[in-house]
Amino acid sequence: MKEQIQALLIRGLSQSAVAEAVGCDSSYVSQLMADDLFAAEVVAGRAKRVAGSVELDNKIDKYEELVLDRVGSLIPFISKVSDAARVFGILNAAKRKAAGVDPAAGSVATGVTVTLDLPAAARVQFQLSGEKQVIEIDGRPLATMQAKSLSSQLEARRASRLLAQDVPETLPVSLPAALQRIPLVEKL
């Protein structure tokens, strides 16, 4: 169990997550981490993992640069607009690793948080499930529907719109002047 705890800690899991995964009390994991030798092995394992990740990132960066150079060398030979657009998409999607880095300070610039205050009419109320999925918007549930029920709801909505239209009880009719002199009903 001790080796399993150490392996999970090396992977970067928190002590409470490791305790829950292994099925022991979190105080046992804390006692193990209090041991200098155990903690040093965990730190060394984490450092080895980070070094491996950095090495892999460097290898990926090298291959990415080779591919972008090859694509860039083909640009003068592109004659079709669709091919040029595809190449532009590839080059534009390339990660800009230096974006936001201040070389003088040697640090990455932090983002700015913007808070927008919307008027009450523009605000929308969302209800989320336990899995952080939107299940209701402004009191209207979001549920998957079968095609049959969807078509019946559309028909009902169309029918209600037709019934909701105001139809006057009498329609104004204008008659030509010649017909206005003729009595429509004979007096008895």
pLDDT of 83 > 70? The answer is yes
Q: Return the minimum-mean-pLDDT range out of 44-48, 53-57, 88-92, 157-161.
A: 88-92
CA gap 107, 3 in Å, rounded: 37
Q: Considering the entire predicted model, what is its pTM?
A: 0.38
pLDDT (0 to 100) of residue 71: 77
Q: Confirm if 125 and 138 have CB atoms less than 8 A apart.
A: yes
H helix or E strand, kind and range, residue 136: strand 134-137
Phi/psi at 136 (5° precision): -155, 140
pLDDT of 160 > 50? The answer is yes
In this structure, the dihedral spanned by the alpha carbons of residues 8, 10, 15 and 21, taken in order and rounded to 10 degrees, is: -10
pLDDT band at 104 (very low <50, low <70, confident <90, very high): very low
- Residues 173-183: pLDDT tens digits? 776 766 666 66
**What's the average model confidence in pLDDT over 22-33?**
88
pLDDT of 61 > 60? The answer is yes
**What's the average model confidence in pLDDT over 5-24?**
88
pLDDT (0 to 100) of residue 96: 64
CA gap 139, 125 in Å, rounded: 8
pLDDT of 101 > 50? The answer is no
pLDDT (0 to 100) of residue 44: 92
Mean pLDDT of the chain: 78
